[in-house]
Amino acid sequence: MEAEGTTSEWLAMYEGAVQNLIDELGRLPGVGPKSAQRIAFHLLSAETADVKRLANALIEVKDRVRFCGVCGNVAEEAECRICRDPRRDPAVICVVEESKDVVAIERTREFRGRYHVLGGAISPIEGVGPDDLRIRELMSRLSDGQVTELILATDPNLEGEATATYLARLVKPMGLKVTRLASGLPVGGDLEYADEVTLGRAFEGRRSLEF
Amino acid sequence: MEAEGTTSEWLAMYEGAVQNLIDELGRLPGVGPKSAQRIAFHLLSAETADVKRLANALIEVKDRVRFCGVCGNVAEEAECRICRDPRRDPAVICVVEESKDVVAIERTREFRGRYHVLGGAISPIEGVGPDDLRIRELMSRLSDGQVTELILATDPNLEGEATATYLARLVKPMGLKVTRLASGLPVGGDLEYADEVTLGRAFEGRRSLEF
């Protein structure tokens, strides 16, 4: 065990390029130092073509992807696929926080209207106010009188509820139908494992069964 | 809810480049579809320079990193940093399964000899035999008589133990000192949570305390 003058050598554990890749991977969300190391070694022994494909996918995404000028969803053209689709009902706008939420709702195949992506939710703690979200763009979309229903599909948490309440008040003078997604028990879930808020909401929103 | 002829459109949930990046990220070890999506959206809103740096790190690692001609560790030159270091004792070779193990041992600062990276462990289930490991290279390193001790630091599991036993028998005629890392209770651990095999090994290897 010696330590004379070799500290930096000891700290930089891998040689240049490997350590550099581990550092870069470790900056990604949800990738800790151990995962970064595992991924780096996986890539070291992977085919060069596969690694180049990943590198190209990274560069392409920054080169080609932008945000839809209408709804704020991710897009590769001026407008996203949904805004360009003439079969989508322009009278109903579903307001979500992120593009990920659009995908989640699209998977249900239940909704055939349009979207509006806010880019987040109002959160005083994180310093996100109404002006940081795409609310002005939403208001201008609503101004032409074509929209009849606004579905507020922000997350069912504190920030999402606050954002929905804010928007509901803001659009009230317009006389639109404003709805919020139902809260309740997850389908396939176990009643005993539901948290009390969800269970309370499920009671509140109980439906009468028709026979 | 419609379904006419739009199935492929429904399945490819994101537009080209984003979905492509999610797919590529999802191929990395330990990155599931949800993590891949999270990382992709993180990169979408990251600085272009940061994403390009990650892409370059990927390409660099394939361009520059190879394996040390002596010990099999990752290296950027013909020989790795440890094999090039004249201060490292050439009389002691520590045999490990992977380059990651070299880094783990280097962090202890306990070892000042050289390494030999096997590239895995003998595993009949995964079809890895002695010929798939860098055992021939190890034997040729031992043939010059300079090495006096071989530390078998393969993993303390079935495959690692089998590999250590195989190597110990193989080098027996050479009359080297052959050692294996101690098994026992992890430092800082709780005796009651140790598995019975580890606890059994800890008993077997108990040391007398000198006062």
The mean pLDDT value of chain B amounts to 87
List beta partners, residue B94. Answer: B115, B151
The matching CATH number, chosen from 2.60.40.2230, 1.10.8.420, 1.10.10.10, 3.40.605.10, for B18-52 is 1.10.8.420
Average pLDDT over residues B2-30: 70
**pLDDT at position A39, please?**
94
Question: Which residues of chain A does B62 touch, with a Cβ-Cβ cutoff of 8 Å?
Answer: 43-44, 48, 51-52
Residues 6+ away with beta carbon under 8 Å from B90: B113, B114, B146, B147
Residues of chain A with CATH 1.10.8.420: 18-52
**CB nearest to B58's CB, from A35, A54, A64:** A54
Distance CA B185, CA B202 (A): 6
List beta partners, residue A113. Answer: A89
**pLDDT at position A199, please?**
82
φ, ψ dihedrals at B7, nearest 5°: -55, -50
**pLDDT at position B191, please?**
77
**pLDDT at position B53, please?**
94
Average pLDDT over residues B180-186: 84
- Closest-CA residue of chain A to B87: A2
Distance CA A172, CA B105 (A): 66
Answer whether B196 touches A (CB < 8 Å): no
Across the interface, do B17 and A110 touch by the CB < 8 Å criterion? no
Chain B from 55 to 74: CB within 8 A of any A CB: 55-65, 74
How many inter-chain contacts (A to B, CB under 8 Å) are there? Answer: 171
- Closest-CA residue of chain A to B20: A57
**pLDDT at position A204, please?**
79
A43-90 per-position pLDDT tens digit:
988 899 999 999 999 999 988 888 999 999 999 889 999 999 999 999
Question: Which amino acid type is present at position B206?
Answer: R
**pLDDT at position A211, please?**
66
Angle between helices B33-44 and B16-26 (to 10 degrees): 130
Residues of chain A with CATH 3.40.1360.10: 80-180
**pLDDT at position A107, please?**
83
Answer whether A106 touches B (CB < 8 Å): yes
Fold entry, domain B80-180: Dna Topoisomerase Vi A Subunit; Chain: A, domain 2 (3.40.1360)
